[in-house]
Structure 1
Amino acid sequence: MNTGRTTLIHRARIVSGDNVIEDGWLAVSGGIVTELGDGTPPESLFAGGADVVDADGQWLVPGFVDVHVHGADGAEVMDGTAEAIARIGRFHAKHGTTGWLPTTVVGPAAALQRALLAVAEVRDTPAAAEGGAAILGVHLEGPMISAKRIGAQNPAHRIDPDVPTMTQLLDTVPDLVRKVTIAPELAGADEVIRLLLTRNAIVSMGHTDASFSQAMHAIQQGASHATHLFNAMRGLHHRDGGTVGASLLSDNVVCEIIADGHHVDFDMLKLAYRLKGRDRLMLITDAIAAAGRPDGAYKLGGLDVTVKAGICLLQDGQTLAGSTLTMDAAVRNMANRVGVSLPDAVAMASAVPARELGLASRKGRIAVGYDADLVLLDESLQVKRTWISGKSVFERV
């Protein structure tokens, strides 16, 4: 697709918010959706030298936004190189992700800063970012997390909440960090939460042993997300609902969830959907370098990970270490295994994360005036094509 001329996509089943336009068409110019309708497009669009794409009755959905992704295709964010960041973005674009938050793991401050600088280099260098999902910020997963719920994070580099350290990270590239995972029960967490809110960063509860009351206190302080709900956090108990209970009950909390059937059983995904609804659940991949690669040995933040049948485990053979999930597979799982409608599954992968990042006026929907971040899915919900800002970045032959 050439962004210098009009593009017409027609004969598509367009998922637009809650609605499905069964025989829809849209026009794109300058990277923006300029016209949208159903039935036969105006003849002028065909006659004006537009690039014409016949969707042949397949699904056209808004591009996916992944706020929690560590790697893919043999690369991870903590490699701290522009090449690694670009490779990850290109891989996930092939699976319908048009925007993402490169996500760090626990590590020394210097390693985290290298990763931030590498992300900024790709974001600010069009040639480096070519063909990849747009960088919408960074998600710092830690390092201020609980030793009791460390999960697949390196305990040697975990620290307690500390305002000077967090300030140093935020100042590495101003306004780049958009989300931070923190254990809110730790001493000093309130002060760090206040800092993050002044810097326009989303505060997410994760890798936390917070009780129900501690989690509710954090929510009152401004925590508004739960990092990979159910995983690496104090779970439900009939005498203390823990972080899970507080996250499920609070209307102010949006929950990330890994819809792969391993991190969260499909029945528990149904429970989360029933309690939170579409607008408070957000699909993520938590993908690591092994995504898109064969089973074998990999690294996650310096820790050894073994991947077997696509499941990533630390050397203890029990601790899940990220995933090999892609966003299109997460959407398929929610639609086919959990039983939500396709518009709801798509919204959890697009509109909800776009809204949470403050981008609801231009991303996450197919509508006139919105960025032409588009994904064409076949009847089995496999990605056929991906467009980012009107430019075709992937087409399955």
Structure 2
Amino acid sequence: MDRVKIFNGRIITPCRMLERGTIVIENGCISCVSAEDVTAGDAFEINANGNYVAPGFIDIHTHGGGGYDFMDATVEAYLGAAEVHAQYGTTSIVPTTLTCTNEELRRSFEAFRKAKAINRKGADLIGIHLEGPYFSPEQKGAQDPRYIRKPLKEEYERIFEWSDDIVRWSAAPEIEGAMEFCRYASKKGALMSIGHSDAIGEEVAEAFENGFTHVTHLYSAMSGVKRINGLRVSGVIESAFLIDEMTVEVIADGIHIPPDLLKLVYKIKGPSRTVLVTDSMRAAGMGEGPSILGSLRDGMEVIVEDGVAKLPGRKAFAGSVATADRLVRTMVKSAGVPLVDAISMITATPAKVIGIDDKKGSLAAGKVADIVIFDQDINILTTIVKGKTVYEREQPPVKLA
């Protein structure tokens, strides 16, 4: 229906929590947020039953889920992953590619464009994140080393010609040509992010001055303090903490980063400069066992166990299998972060970082009605995208006396 009323919920707004509040949705947008019950005419009513009502989760770094990877470069993969993530409270995603051939990139761009036009049942596809191929070989992580290379102007100009949907790009700023590349990509509207980098502090400072304003999966595949000629120098991790204006993202599954380091990130950067991301691969939302990182055709074999994907030798992680609800749960239950702040780190903050905070990321009149309802254990009960319910948890049957 064009008008929906959500009532009897603990509504998390940008500035407070409304106990037993009400939200009215009209034509896919929020028209009213109230601490009291309000009349909404012939609206379809959703009783939140005292559960939490929050902005829909925004994941700005995900490679797939539910058996799908965006490197499969099919419409089915984009739509399937979007539907799976919606079941876990995510209402907007930035599909992320891996280091690969340009032909694979182009196929994935085309699949994204087609999927975005017909997506009605899953998380909103808000743009593409290119993770690579301009990385440090020393910090490649699970990225395929066959395709890691230096940025060439004719190449990245051509890539931008292929798609208008690129909203962020992760690269290592210390490699040759990275500064010129960053300045060009920033002018094209892409959020530039330091990732898979072995940079030292001076290089990170120069990168920030040239437009690298964000850090991809802090602590994962990046430099920390090290010695050069016997002297200690800072790395990307320390620089991210030192540069107040720089935003960071963390894979808050409790495995990529343990709870004590999640507490440290929260203490130093705070909720307004910390983004929770899944960095999920195709096995997210599925069971343990063998899987593929990247495309089915040319991806890397991995093993999923202990709640994370690992390379076959088990010497390194190969992507996350987390879903957004798990990130919030970890921050609250394991890292001791207040719920309101944890929600901000997966709603308002990523919306601002990716440049969509005028439309998404908070529950306020005029914003798109992307909403999630969850219980005290962060179990997702209802997911609403653009005013339409795309997921509703099945309730157990009532036992009769």
Separation of aligned partners in 2, 1:389 and 1:171: 30
Say which of 182, 193, 201 aligns to 2:190: 201
1:235-292 residue CA offsets vs partner (Å, 9 max, x unmatched):
2358222001111111221101001111111100101111101111000000000111
Query: What residue number does 1:108 align with?
Result: 101
Between the aligned residues of both structures, percent identity stands at 35
Give the whole-Å Cα distance in 2 for the aligned partners of 1:81 and 1:280.
34
Using the alignment, how far apart are the partners of 2:317 and 2:159 within structure 1? 27
Give structure 1 stretches of 5+ with no counterpart. Answer: none
Name which of 187, 208, 211 aligns with 1:219. Answer: 208
One-letter code of the match for 1:80? Answer: A
Partner residue in 1 for 2:317: 320
Of residues 97-106 and 309-318 in structure 1, the stretch that sits farther from structure 2 once superposed is 309-318
Instruction: Tell me the TM-score normalized by structure 2.
Output: 0.95
Does the CA contact (< 8 Å) of 1:219 and 1:252 recur in 2?
no
- In structure 1, the partner of 2:31 is 34
Match of 1:151 in 2: 141
Paired residue secondary structure (1:331) = helix
For residues 80 and 381 of structure 1, the distance between their equivalents in structure 2, rounded to whole angstroms, comes to 32
SS in structure 2 of the partner of residue 349 of structure 1: coil
Structure 1 equivalent of residue 47 of structure 2 = 54
Q: In the alignment, is residue 334 of structure 1 matched against residue 324 of structure 2?
A: no
* Whole-Å separation in 2 of the counterparts to 1:291 and 1:34: 34
Residues 304-313 or 197-206, more deviating: 304-313
How big is each residue's C-alpha offset from its partner over 1:268-319, in whole Å with a ceiling of 9 and x where there is no partner? 0101111101111000000000111111111112111111132210112111
Q: Matched residue pairs, number?
A: 386
Residue equivalent to 2:153: 163
Counterpart Cα distance in 2 of 1:95 and 1:366: 19
RMSD value over aligned CA atoms?
Answer: 1.0
Within-5 A mapping of 1:73-92? 73-92=66-85
Alignment partners' CA distance in 2, 1:240 and 1:316: 31
Task: Write the letter of the residue equivalent to 2:241.
Answer: L
Tell which deviates more after alignment, 295-304 or 230-239: 230-239
Contact 1:18 1:343 (8 Å CA) reproduced: no
d(CA) in 1 for partners of 2:106 and 2:4?
40
Residues in 2 aligned to 1:295 and 1:319: alpha-carbon distance in whole angstroms:
17
Deviations, residues 324-356 of structure 1 (Å, cap 9, x unaligned): 101111011111111111111001001011111
From 4, 9, 23, give the equivalent of 1:7. 4
1:133 maps to which residue? 123
Q: Distance in 1 between matches of 2:241 and 2:256?
A: 17
Contact 1:139 / 1:177 at 8 angstroms: preserved in 2? yes
Q: For residue 319 of structure 1, what is the amino acid of its counterpart?
A: A
Instruction: Give the match's secondary structure for 1:140.
Output: strand
Show the counterpart of 2:166: 177
Residues 4-53 of structure 1: CA deviation (Å, up to 9, x unaligned): 2x1111111000013100120011010011111112323xx2xx221011
Distance between the aligned counterparts of 1:62 and 1:219, measured in 2? 30
Per the alignment, in what secondary structure is the counterpart of residue 279 of structure 1? coil
1:271 aligns with 2:264: yes
Q: Which runs of 4+ in 1 moved over 6 A?
A: none
Per the alignment, residue 285 of structure 1 pairs with 278
Equivalents in 2 of 1:168, 1:299: separation in Å? 29
Q: Secondary structure at the match of 2:287?
A: coil
Mapped partners of 1:275, 1:18: distance in 2:
21
If the length of structure 1 is used for normalisation, what is the TM-score? 0.95
> Take 2:239 and 2:306, find their aligned partners in 1: how far apart are those partners?
33
AA at the equivalent of 1:57: G
Tell me how far apart the structure 1 counterparts of residues 341 and 24 of structure 2 sit (CA, whole Å).
Answer: 24
